[in-house]
Amino acid sequence: MSDTPSELRYASSHEWTRQEADGTVTVGITNHAQDALGDVVFIELPEVGRQVNAGDECAVVESVKAASDIYAPVSGEIIATNDALGDAPELVNSDPYGAAWLFKIQPSDSGELDKLLDAEGYLATL
């Protein structure tokens, strides 16, 4: 697993995004973020159907160490959340870019994606 896959786009608040073929955007937290948080124990996910603006708090990841707010990287509607994390929050530690995606957004302004950082840009913020 790459620490910062080059095919993803990143927010400086440590979310990653992946634009899917159907135009939706999948969101998770970066390997750097999970490493800093330590063992994740609970995750609070947004309600499906909620409209979010880029930068809105929309989830919380609680680890043994701290509670961390997760922000919507782009505006749009929450169309799915990863219910598997309810029973297996530790996936965030073991597979942050895969099984531990948090939610999917149907973006209302695809131009916002261009404002996100590429891998190099994200690494430069760390």
Partner 1 sequence: MGSRTPLYERHLAAGAKLVDFGGWDMPLHYGSQIEEHHQVRRDAGMFDVSHMTVVDVTGADARAWLQYLLANDVARLEAPGRALYSAMLNPAGGVLDDLIVYRLDDGYRLVVNAATRTKDLAWMRQQAADFTVTITERDDLAMLAIQGPRARDLCASVVSDSRAVLIDQLEPFHGLPDGQWFLARTGYTGEDGLEIMLPAAQAPALWQALLDAGCKPCGLGARDTLRLEAGLNLYGADIDEQTSPLAANMAWTIAWEPAQRDFIGRQALEAQRQAADQPKQVGLLLSERAVLRSGQAVIVDGIGEGQITSGSFSPTLGCSIALARVPRATAGSARVEIRGKSLPVRVIRPGFVRNGKQVFE
Footprint on this chain of partner 1 (rule: CB under 8 A) = 35, 38-39, 41-42, 44, 60, 62, 64-67, 90, 93
Question: Whole-number minimum distance, CB 29 to partner 1, in Å?
Answer: 17
Q: How far is the CB of 80 from partner 1 (least distance, A)?
A: 20
Identify which of residues 21 and 64 has a Cβ nearer to partner 1 in the complex: 64
Quote the CA–CA distance of 51 and 2 in Å, as a whole number. 32
Strands 15-19 and 25-29: antiparallel
Judged by beta carbon, residue 60 or residue 80, the one nearer partner 1 is 60
Least Cβ distance, residue 22 to partner 1 (angstroms): 31
Rounded to 5 degrees, φ, ψ at 60 are -135, 130
Q: How far is 69 from 56, CA to CA, in rounded Å?
A: 10
Q: Which is nearer to partner 1, 44 or 118 (CB)?
A: 44
Phi, psi of 105 (to 5 degrees): -120, 140
